């Protein structure tokens, strides 16, 4: 049995949706970020990075969204969430998810987590002002060059889709105009229609 540690509003949503889409048997545990539970001794013993998501498996604990997503896809091959039997196509999936984690998510993180990279209030304010431009530029690249449609990789729904959906969910709060990203907006709408997505969103809200 798999167990996912998550917090609402975080990138853990991507793995949560993937588990649901895969038909996996799993449980979830919600962390309370307001009380800084992610840095409690109990949770640091699970994930010393003090971040979500973490996935507890029979063989040990996994962290890092791109790694967890690929693990879910490969553990439930019947769900066809990644082209694991084709090294090149699999690398395309990985490259997309790697861009989301190292560029898109990082750009967004400068809004609320500037303390990771700076110390002055003026720097945090500067970083916040840049968010619409930096996040907007990364999504413009996705819109123009990466999102094939109807799904990220084309006809086949993959682990790229819940990850993109998760990060796209932050665009409004980041003051990025979705009207300039019609293909991303269409993808969000298509994702929101999936039963697995609806079920997970309801659970995370609850």
Q: What CA–CA distance (Å, rounded) separates 202 from 73?
A: 23
Query: According to CB under 8 A, which residues from 76 to 115 bind a copy of itself?
Result: 87-88, 90-92, 94-95, 98-99, 101-103, 105-107, 110
Is the Cβ of residue 76 or residue 194 nearer to a copy of itself in the bound state? Answer: 76
> Considering CB under 8 A, how many residues would be counted as binding a copy of itself?
47
The helix/strand/coil state of 25 is: coil
Q: Which residue, among 178, 102, 174, 173, has the nearest Cα to 134 in the 3D structure?
A: 174
Check residue 195 for interaction with a copy of itself (CB under 8 A).
Answer: no
Site string (43-82) toward a copy of itself, x via CB under 8 A: -----xx-------x-xx-xxxxxxx-xx--xx-------
Radius of gyration of the chain (CA): 17
Query: According to CB under 8 A, which residues from 143 to 162 bind a copy of itself?
Result: 144-145
Check residue 24 for interaction with a copy of itself (CB under 8 A).
Answer: no
Cross-strand bridge partners of residue 30: 6
Q: What CA–CA distance (Å, rounded) separates 134 from 106?
A: 10
Is the Cβ of residue 7 or residue 46 nearer to a copy of itself in the bound state? Answer: 46
Nearest approach, Cβ of residue 206 and a copy of itself (Å): 29
Phi-psi region of 149 (alpha: psi -120 to 50; beta: other; left: phi over 0): left
Check residue 117 for interaction with a copy of itself (CB under 8 A).
Answer: yes
Q: What CA–CA distance (Å, rounded) separates 36 from 102?
A: 24
Is the Cβ of residue 20 or residue 138 nearer to a copy of itself in the bound state? Answer: 138
């Amino acid at each position: 049995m798999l167990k996912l540690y998550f917090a609402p509003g975080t990138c853990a949503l991507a793995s949560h949706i993937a588990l649901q889409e895969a038909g996996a048997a799993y449980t979830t545990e919600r962390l309370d970020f307001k009380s800084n539970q992610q840095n409690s001794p109990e949770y640091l013993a699970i994930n010393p990075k003090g971040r979500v998501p973490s996935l507890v498996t029979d063989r040990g604990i996994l962290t890092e969204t791109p790694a967890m997503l690929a693990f879910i896809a490969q553990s439930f091959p019947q769900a066809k969430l990644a082209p694991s039997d084709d090294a090149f196509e699999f690398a395309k999936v990985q490259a997309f998810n790697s861009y989301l984690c190292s560029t898109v998510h990082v750009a967004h993180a400068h809004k609320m987590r500037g303390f990771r990279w700076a110390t002055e209030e003026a720097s945090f304010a500067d970083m916040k002002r840049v968010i619409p431009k930096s996040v907007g530029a990364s999504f413009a690249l996705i819109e123009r060059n990466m999102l094939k449609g109807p799904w990220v990789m084309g006809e086949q729904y993959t682990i790229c889709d819940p990850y993109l959906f998760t990060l796209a969910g932050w665009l409004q709060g980041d003051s990025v105009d979705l009207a300039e990203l019609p293909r991303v907006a269409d993808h969000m709408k298509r994702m929101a229609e999936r039963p697995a997505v609806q079920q997970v969103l309801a659970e995370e809200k609850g």
